[in-house]
Amino acid sequence: MDALFDMIRQQDSNRAMAELAEGAIFKVLFLQRDPLIVNGIFPALAKKMTSKQFQDCFMREHLRVLSAKHHAILSDIQKCELAGQDSRFYKFQLPALEHEMGLPSFDAYLEFLSNPAEGRSAVIEILINEYEYLNDGADSGADYVSEHYEIYRIGSFLYEQSLKKVGLFDRFEQREKSRLEAIYREQGVELSTTDAQFSKYGLLSFRDGFRIDNDKDSQVIIDEHLGRHYGIEVPRNVLAAIEYAMAKGWVKDIAFNICSIGDGSRLSMEDLEYGSLFSFDALHLPEFSKLYEAECYENSLWIKVDKSKSSMTFEELCADFPELDGNVITQLVHLEVSMVAGQPVISHIDHEFILYDLESYADRLDKPKIKGKRKVKTFKIDNAEIPFDFIFRDRLFLYQVLDSYFSHKSLIREYFVSVGSQ
């Protein structure tokens, strides 16, 4: 399947601007009856769908995606209610989403897709209309779309997850780094010599003339002198908390990994309950701690405490880890704590993706001192004075960072509860 998905990605990258307006590449190829879909993806997928292992893996991934969406909607509801705004738009989405999350098996999911009561007819009607448009009305496509609808939905989902996986590994290439150098070189600025964070980590330091645009759908740094928009990968809630800390003067030095460049176009109360229990006493805990899910030992959260450096490192390991070409990626958050006027403050914090080869990752599952071979940071804050107990929008800042980046929310909650009870 990966080889076939690579071919689709290649076709997508070769599309002209006008063709991009036709829609997502997988849907376009499906509606055009492209041989890559009809004779390639569908037969290969039909064979895989008979495997119990594939079915279980698909349902786990599907539930993970739905759970992340559910978590985001609950967060939006909480924000609306805290701001005294109407949250019905988000609440209306919950029943259908929770119903789909509760599907017990792959067979139940197939039945869900084929059930007219679940909106199948409406979606198919939309696809048929698009089919007629793309094929100049040569035929209605009704029979074709209806016959392949379920396998199309499954294939489309898998392709989207494949894109995310490839994108995850692409982060290590830092493809926009050379473009950034060229942009500022035209202005007479050599980033490699004037920006220490860029030289060492490939991060662009926030400076005078920059501002943050933290929109619902995108997080962007804007260079107002050049009219450039730089996409960053910092979750909206975390970025909002960072903005607040910058406005208070707690954060002075911060740098971001740039994932895209543009020209200027353009929570639940349970979280509060658990997140508010954490305290500075965590630095007195054992050097290494590990939490894991009872139903899946490989889903784990490792915590390293270095008392000599007053630092903590959180690393998340996943059973369904993203794997490509013999490499595995984990996520890590590292922070350092200092004392200012007798009060603990976070003086440094960053988020990283860590790359392991499969052999090293197998050792890392039980050996906390095993290190990855490469890393890429999404953001890095230095020389800060963020209060250790800083609460933003009713959530502890550190808890918010971990909860926004890591997948296994229950392990984060469990850790904060266990620390709070020490």
- Determine the Cα–Cα distance for residues 58 and 37; give it in Å rounded to an integer: 19
If you average pLDDT over residues 144-172, what whole number do you get?
87
Same domain, 152 and 242: no
Give how far Cα 158 sits from Cα of 150, 152, 196, 348, Å: 13, 10, 40, 38
Same domain, 245 and 348: no
How many domains in the chain? 3
Domain boundary among 148, 171, 194: 171
Q: Identify the residue whose tokens are 């792959």.
A: 106
Whether pLDDT at 332 is above 60: yes
Nearest to 420 by CA among 401, 404, 405, 398: 398
pLDDT in tens, 274-311: 233 345 555 555 677 777 766 666 788 888 888 888 89
Range(s) of the domain holding residue 57? 2-171
Q: What is the pLDDT of residue 263?
A: 67
Worst-scoring range by mean pLDDT, 74-83, 149-158, 229-238, 382-391? 74-83
Same domain, 167 and 181: no
Same domain, 409 and 273: yes
Instruction: Say what percent of the chain tops pLDDT 90.
Output: 42
If you average pLDDT over residues 183-196, what whole number do you get?
92
CB 260 within 8 A of CB 177: no
Same domain, 7 and 66: yes
Q: Identify the residue whose tokens are 């020209």.
A: 263
Same domain, 331 and 381: yes
CB 179 within 8 A of CB 198: no
Same domain, 229 and 297: no
Here the tokens at position 420 are 């709070």
Whether pLDDT at 335 is above 90: yes
Nearest to 153 by CA among 30, 19, 63, 57: 30
Same domain, 348 and 253: no
Secondary structure in 3-state letters for the chain: CHHHHHHHHHHHHCCCHHHHCCCCHHHHHHHCCCHHHHHHHHHHHHHHCCCHHHHHHHHHHHHHHHHHHHHHHHHHHHHHHHCCCCCHHHHCCHHHHHHHHCCCCHHHHHHHHHCHHHCHHHHHHHHHHHHHHHCCCCCCCHHHHHHHHHHHHHHHHHHHHHHHHHHHHHHHHCCCHHHHHHHHHCCCCCHHHHCHHHHHHCCEECCCCEEEEECCCCEEEEECCCCEEEEECCCHHHHHHHHHHHHCCCCCEEEECEEEEECCCCCCHHHHHHHCCCCHHHHHCCCEEEEEECCEEEEEEEEEEECCCCEEEEEEECCCCCEECCEEEEEEEEEEEEEECCEEEEEEEEEEEEEEEHHHHHHHCCCCCCCCCEEEEEEEEECCCEECCCEECCEEHHHHHHHHHCCCHHHHHHHHHHHHCC
- Determine the Cα–Cα distance for residues 238 and 351; give it in Å rounded to an integer: 11
Give how far Cα 327 sits from Cα of 166, 332, 357, 370, Å: 12, 16, 4, 15
Same domain, 84 and 141: yes
pLDDT in tens, 53-68: 999 999 999 998 899 8
Q: How many CB atoms lie within 10 A of CB 220?
A: 19
Band (pLDDT 50/70/90 cuts) for residue 185 is very high
- Determine the Cα–Cα distance for residues 225 and 257; give it in Å rounded to an integer: 20
Band (pLDDT 50/70/90 cuts) for residue 21 is low
Domain boundary among 198, 231, 262: 262
Whether pLDDT at 132 is above 80: yes
Q: What is the pLDDT of residue 389?
A: 86
Mean pLDDT of the residues in the chain: 84
Q: Per DSSP, what are the bridge partners of residue 16?
A: none
Task: Look at 421 and 316; give whichever has higher pLDDT.
Answer: 316
Same domain, 153 and 302: no
Worst-scoring range by mean pLDDT, 131-135, 171-175, 351-355? 171-175
Q: What is the pLDDT of residue 281?
A: 55
pTM, full prediction:
0.63
Same domain, 238 and 294: no
Q: What is the pLDDT of residue 283?
A: 54
Same domain, 10 and 153: yes
Q: What is the pLDDT of residue 35?
A: 94
- Tell me which amino acid residue 324 is: L
Whether pLDDT at 272 is above 70: no
Task: Look at 216 and 407; give whichever has higher pLDDT.
Answer: 407
Q: What is the pLDDT of residue 101?
A: 93
Domain boundary among 262, 292, 318: 262
Give how far Cα 108 sits from Cα of 92, 183, 287, Å: 23, 52, 45
